[in-house]
């Protein structure tokens, strides 16, 4: 956490998904990522509480896929 904002990895963990999943959702256009903030020479996407709430809504709108085998009859 940097200030009151979360990094991408922390935001993903907060809503219960993997960071790679969040990055894929961003790439697919399912949600807009915050603009990078430079801290030293490194750019971080810092997620506010409002950003995390939007992320949670996206997660809730996507059906959860569990480890199951589905067969057609």
50 class by beta-carbon count within 10 Å (0-12 exposed, 13-18 middle, 19+ buried): exposed
| Phi, then psi, of 4 in degrees rounded to 5 | -105, 10
Q: Say what the pTM is.
A: 0.77
What is the reported pLDDT for 26?
A: 93
- Select from 11, 3, 1 the least CA-distant residue to 55: 11
pLDDT in tens, 57-70: 999 888 766 655 66
pLDDT in tens, 16-58: 999 999 999 999 999 999 999 998 898 999 999 999 999 999 9
Give dist(CA 24, CA 27) in Å, integer: 5
What is the reported pLDDT for 63?
A: 75
pLDDT bracket for residue 8 (50, 70, 90): very high
Give dist(CA 14, CA 28) in Å, integer: 21
């Amino acid at each position: 956490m940097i200030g009151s904002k979360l990094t991408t990895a922390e935001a993903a963990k907060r809503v219960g998904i993997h960071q790679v999943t969040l990055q894929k959702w961003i790439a697919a256009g399912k949600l807009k990522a915050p603009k990078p903030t430079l801290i030293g020479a490194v750019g971080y996407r810092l997620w506010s509480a409002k950003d995390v709430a939007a992320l949670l809504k996206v997660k809730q709108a996507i059906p959860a896929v569990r480890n199951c085998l589905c067969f057609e009859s």
